[in-house]
């Protein structure tokens, strides 16, 4: 699960993340992760005016509300539960 946030509304409060970006791809994303444990924290995608935060890494994800949609459901596993009535998309939603 992830959420989008304007980059100016996000900052790290302690430490600095490690970063990884593939140099063999055009318009590659930058992934940021905890330098101690390696947990993936966020993704920065070129051209997207938002950071993509991994909501499961928050101390209290409930303070940000509930899911608004489920995407890429074509690839979901049997153990992935989607709340009844939540809009779903087999791929990304239309823009």
Maximum CA pair distance of the chain? 41
List, for residues 2-37, the tens digit of each pLDDT value.
888 899 988 888 889 999 999 999 999 999 999 889
**For position 33, what pLDDT does the model report?**
95
List, for residues 51-77, the tens digit of each pLDDT value.
999 877 877 777 777 788 888 899 889
**For position 71, what pLDDT does the model report?**
87
pTM of the model: 0.68
pLDDT band at 1 (very low <50, low <70, confident <90, very high): confident
> Of 5, 13, 94, 90, which Cα lies nearest the Cα of 43?
5
**For position 64, what pLDDT does the model report?**
75
């Amino acid at each position: 699960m992830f959420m989008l946030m304007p980059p100016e509304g996000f900052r790290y409060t302690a430490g600095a993340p490690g970063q990884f970006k593939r140099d063999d791809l055009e318009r590659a994303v930058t992934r940021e992760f905890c330098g101690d444990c390696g947990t993936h924290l966020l993704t920065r995608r070129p051209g997207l005016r938002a950071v993509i935060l991994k909501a499961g890494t928050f101390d209290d994800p409930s303070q940000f509300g509930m899911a608004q949609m489920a995407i890429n459901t074509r690839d979901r596993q049997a153990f992935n539960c989607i709340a009844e009535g939540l809009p779903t998309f087999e791929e990304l939603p239309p823009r």
